[in-house]
Amino acid sequence: MLQALIAFVTILSGYLFITKWHESRFIIRRQDSQGVYFYAAAAGIVLLLFAVALISQFDSHLIGIKKSLAVWAKSQLPLGENEKSLSAAYWIIVLSTTLSMGLIASYLLNCLQAVITMRKKDWVLLLGDGIKEKRWNPAYYIEGIYRYSSIKPLRRAINHLNADFELILFRGFDQAKPIGFTLHSGKVYVGQVMGAVDPVDSRDMIRILPMMSGYRDEITHKVTFTTFYKKLYERLDKTEELQHLHDESFEIVFSFADVQTANLFDTTAYDEFQKDKPRNDNQLDIDFSNTAPPKTPKAL
């Protein structure tokens, strides 16, 4: 009975670890069930060894707990003839520690990676947002730090998997820049991608918060922008008739299959291109130099 329990908890702990640690969770998504099993078993064995070493260091302080567990195990567990209740109590402590490490260690490693890899401007942005929104709860900043923990592993996974479309989406998130999408219908949207960017996600839809939209000419393929959402967003809190609306009210969802092209949209570069256009061009000549994404999407 104990052997089966040890094997089960070891693999379960390893599975919990590899599915939560960013460095491994992107890798296993590309593995079949057997590959995931071996990854989980390897991680579980490492966690089990750490748990055994940890319990050995505090063995003298756990005598009372082991005796209490031994009494409980003898009366409640279907132990074999050769299985001693005191030994069962020891393994209950070890396996409980192993399972706890599988749950906690991945989150601790993710937070550590976030602290190490966060740039100075990331810290300034996090602290600035907290002060602006008057968030004094430490949990708010811990959650904010954790959001950065997947950035480096995600970039490595995207490059390793050669996921070109997700690379554009990731750059938009990482650089806080909008992305321009041209659909097969000729419709063009420029907006901020909302939600996570995952190179192995099986989703078939994408959600954006639009900044502006328009269409491509069927002959010249030049873009004409007709709708500008930023001005409307700025009026939401100022106009009484619009106060019941929020940015999320204007989010747009379309299929990945509908996207013909996608590119980072730099407003400064766009303005420069507009200056070089012929004066008889019928496209709109509007200054977007102050246009910025309404907000940055949440965690990966």
* DSSP states along the chain: -HHHHHHHHHHHHHHHHHHHSHHHHHHHTTS-HHHHHHHHHHHHHHHHHHHHHHHHHTGGGGHHHHHHHHHHHHHHS---TT--HHHHHHHHHHHHHHHHHHHHHHHHHHHHHHHHH--HHHHHHHHHHHHHTT---HHHHHHHHHHGGGHHHHHHHHHHHT-HHHHHHHHHHHTT--EEEEETTSEEEEEEE-S---TT----EEEEEEEEEEEE-TTT--EEEEEEHHHHHHHTTT-GGGTT--GGGG-EEEEGGGEEEEEE--HHHHHHHHHTS-TT--S-----TT---SS-----
With vertex at residue 163, the alpha carbon angle to CA 162 and CA 167, rounded to the nearest 5 degrees, is 110
All CATH 2.30.30.100 domain ranges of the chain, comma separated, are 164-275
> What does the pLDDT read at residue 201?
61
- The class level of CATH for 164-275 reads mainly beta
| pLDDT, tens digit, 9 for 90 and up, residues 25-42 | 877 776 778 888 899 999
Q: What is the pLDDT of residues 216-262, one digit of tens each?
A: 888 888 888 888 888 888 777 777 777 777 777 888 888 888 888 99
List pLDDT tens digits, range 34-84.
Answer: 888 899 999 999 999 999 998 888 877 777 777 777 776 666 665 655 557
**pTM for the whole structure:** 0.57
**pLDDT value of position 296:** 44
Share of the chain above pLDDT 70, in %: 80
pLDDT class for 16, splitting at 50, 70, 90? very high
Q: How confident is the model at residue 15 (pLDDT cuts 50, 70, 90)?
A: very high
- Please determine, for residue 285, whether its predicted confidence score (pLDDT) is greater than 60: no
User: Which residue from 151, 142, 118 is spatially nearest to 22, judged by alpha carbons?
Assistant: 151
